[in-house]
Amino acid sequence: MFTDLHSIDTLVSLAKRRGFIFQSSEIYGGLNGCWDYGPLGVELLRNIKEAWWKAMTYRDDVEGLDASILMHARVWEASGHVENFTDPMVDCRGCKARYRLDVLFDSYNEKRKRKIAEGLAAMRPGVLVGGRDTTAELAEAVADALSEDPSVFEALNEKELLPCPACGRTGSFTIPRKFNLMFKTFIGPVEDASAVVYLRPETAQGIFVNFANVAQTMRQKVPFGIAQIGKAFRNEINTKNFLYRTREFEQMEMQFFVEPGTDMEWFEKWKEERMRWFLDLGMRQGKLRFHPHPPEKLAHYARAAVDIEYEFPFGWGEIEGIHNRTDYDLSRHMEYSGKSLEYFDDEKKEKYVPYVIETSAGASRSLMAFLVDAYAEEQLDNETRTVLRFHPRLAPYKAAVLPLVNRDGMEDIGRHLYRSLQKELPVFYDDSGSIGRRYRRQDEIGTPFAITIDSQTLQDETVTVRDRDTMQQIRIAMDACSRYLHDELKM
């Protein structure tokens, strides 16, 4: 019987111990919100990105792209990021602690949240809808009131209902200020306003500004898409939960350009296709769900939006968003650049600005979901076995070669087999310690197959192949190992 991961801390510790993820700049005390991918982490990340790239671009109607991270500053004015990509923040005048408004409210206990909600109801009758009585519903009402009207925060603060979580002072917060999440830098030697550029907070804009280039050079006709994998940067005020919210991360985004009027049909198609991708890579169905955005919560340019959520140990969280972005982005870039991004439909003899269906997944956040989903503990007779049950396509190593003992020439045979398999697949060789411990080490990093050279190998050139999940072993001819692995891995 397998049991799931209970706490992210267990995963953080395994990820470090086994070379998946290290804290950035660890020897200097670390850099908040940034992580380094170790030897196994980088393989896992590459496998995820490779699976996405194949699924999304090895088809007739989607082209690939790799746009630069630094883009013209006007791009971010057109996209709305300069004006709107902000979080409201407050500082404690007493101890200087800084909080994002929603995070501050989240940090309070249930009793305090109720007190705040009651304070709000007394100030603004009608803010709380009748019948809302769970803390979560009250919290949502307060969060809505806070985001709609900054004076609500000031009033709650003056009434001393908001203690600083760090120092406990009340009435000590500054008025909320907008904090833009884009990292700013300068291009060239002069650091003045005309030299400002931003590290992109999403890869999508690189796709929008190249819409006409790709359509023309690849002679693509609408409907078609452009896909891109790349780094994105957000100066998140509160990073949290390991890789879930970081300041530097990777996105896997695709913008699918369609004729207006056909957009909702394509939205539904991509929604299903993207969910299927996670399932095909072994993610458990019960841990995935769609979370549709209610109409009143949609961004002003969106006609529909749905998140694919995964159930992490800390609760449900978005791993991918699918959005119907209408013609907003292309129209804004037309307005700001003065260049036409209209599409001429040869058959219908009409011109229009295409609508966009966007699929936007975090590569790093998906990696975390795949890690959480793969993690399992199995109670055996006298020990607990930890195993990462990755889909074989994602596993960093596909097989390990293990001579049973270090004598009688078994290690030479093992090394020879390892070298020949290594030409085709990422494989691992290990001849140190008991065979049981070596199996456990491979289980813990998710290697699907362990090939053992034993005394029978010396007689008939056969080996055992152990399956990571069932621990069952079969015996096959040594020279059939490569074929066997390729068949089982379906690579």
Instruction: Catalog residues that contact ligand GAP under the rule CB under 6 A.
Output: 202, 204, 234, 236, 245-246, 249, 251, 253, 318-321, 358, 360-362, 364-365
Question: How far apart are CB 324 and ligand GAP at their closest, in Å?
Answer: 12
Phi and psi at residue 406, in whole multiples of 5°?
-95, 50
Nearer to ligand GAP, 63 or 320 (CB): 320
Query: CA-to-CA distance for 479 and 100, rounded, in angstroms?
Result: 60
Question: How far apart are CB 249 and ligand GAP at their closest, in Å?
Answer: 4
Nearer to ligand GAP, 204 or 402 (CB): 204
Nearer to ligand GAP, 81 or 398 (CB): 81
Nearer to ligand GAP, 358 or 430 (CB): 358
Nearer to ligand GAP, 248 or 411 (CB): 248
Evaluated on CA atoms 407, 409, 412, 415, the torsion sign reads negative
Question: How far apart are CB 476 and ligand GAP at their closest, in Å?
Answer: 41
Determine contact, residues 45/352, Cβ cutoff 8 Å.
no
Nearer to ligand GAP, 318 or 444 (CB): 318
- Residues contacting residue 335 through CB under 8 Å, at least 6 positions apart: 78
Q: Which of 231, 234, 215 is nearest to 223 (CA)?
A: 215
Q: What is the DSSP string of 392-427?
A: TTT-S-SEEEEESSS-TTHHHHHHHHHHHHHTTS-E
Sheet bearing 315-324, strands edge to edge: 62-65, 224-233, 248-258, 355-362, 315-324, 304-312, 288-292
Question: How far apart are CB 284 and ligand GAP at their closest, in Å?
Answer: 18
Closest-approach residue to ligand GAP (CB):
362
Question: How far apart are CB 316 and ligand GAP at their closest, in Å?
Answer: 13
Question: How far apart are CB 425 and ligand GAP at their closest, in Å?
Answer: 29
Query: CA-to-CA distance for 283 and 294, rounded, in angstroms?
Result: 26
Nearer to ligand GAP, 356 or 465 (CB): 356
Q: What single-letter amino acid sits at 77?
A: E
Supply 154's token pair. 């000031």
Supply 310's token pair. 């995964």
Question: How far apart are CB 250 and ligand GAP at their closest, in Å?
Answer: 8
Phi and psi at residue 274, in whole multiples of 5°?
-70, -35
Distances (CA, A) of 392 to 389, 446, 485: 8, 9, 10
Question: How far apart are CB 421 and ligand GAP at their closest, in Å?
Answer: 35
Burial of 243 (0-12, 13-18, 19+ CB in 10 A): buried
Question: How far apart are CB 240 and ligand GAP at their closest, in Å?
Answer: 9
Nearer to ligand GAP, 320 or 431 (CB): 320
* Strand residue runs (E) in 19-175: 21-23, 35-37, 62-65, 86-91, 98-100
Nearer to ligand GAP, 201 or 414 (CB): 201
Determine contact, residues 235/247, Cβ cutoff 8 Å.
yes
Nearer to ligand GAP, 230 or 414 (CB): 230
Question: How far apart are CB 29 and ligand GAP at their closest, in Å?
Answer: 21
Determine contact, residues 358/256, Cβ cutoff 8 Å.
yes
